[in-house]
Amino acid sequence: MTEELLTKFKNILVTGGAGFIGNNFIRKVIKTKKNKIFNIDKISYCSNKYSLQEFEQNFPNNYEFYQINLIDFDKIRDVVQKVQPDLIIHFAAESHVDNSIKNPKVFLKTNILGTFNILNSIIKNKLKIKFIHISTDEVFGSLKLNNSKFNLKSSYDPKSPYSASKASSDHLVRAYGNTFGLKFNIINCSNNFG
């Protein structure tokens, strides 16, 4: 976390802030009390509900929570309009490859339609903001022991419904950047822990 991020962006909207990565991001940023954090999360099997109570109790002036499913465009658009974020960090996603094999439709809805709804809410509200999309290295496929590492020029080669849905959302973000001039970064994470 750079000091520039904390000072440049005052209103930060986080999607998936009750999940593992989003929750730890909020925990790090909120302690500085320099930013207002707006957290959108649907609350699912992998959510840390207790941390939400902690944030609300300990940082009432720096934290707001909205329990919304990203597939509900009207609610997403309304929250984005209300909070007027400078920065959106999009952590929210269905994860776990095994789950995507059992129920791929949920992954398509959340990871593709949910990303589309966030992007569309930015455009509909005519916001000039920064968008950071948290993705996965799995969009590049699988490596064998003697293969070279993935890099920014690696071709997409998703191998599961999960990685295909994340690859699709990556392409949506790039398309919105190209078409609408949205400033964005895509971060392809690998097995986060910490």
What residues have CB less than 8 Å from 44, skipping those under 6 apart? none
Helix axes 49-58, 20-30, angle to 10 degrees: 10
Q: Which residues are catalytic?
A: 137-138, 162
Contact between 15 and 80 under an 8 Å Cβ cutoff? The reply is: no
What is the spatial distance between Cα 183 and Cα 156, in angstroms, rounded to a whole number?
Answer: 22
Contact between 18 and 63 under an 8 Å Cβ cutoff? The reply is: no
What residues have CB less than 8 Å from 156, skipping those under 6 apart? 139, 140, 141, 167, 170
The one-digit pLDDT tens for each residue of the chain (194 residues) are 566 666 789 999 999 999 988 999 999 899 888 899 999 999 987 788 788 888 999 999 999 999 999 999 999 999 999 999 999 999 999 888 888 899 899 999 999 999 999 999 999 999 999 999 998 888 888 777 777 777 778 788 889 999 999 999 999 999 999 999 999 999 887 776 64
Per-residue pLDDT, 96: 82
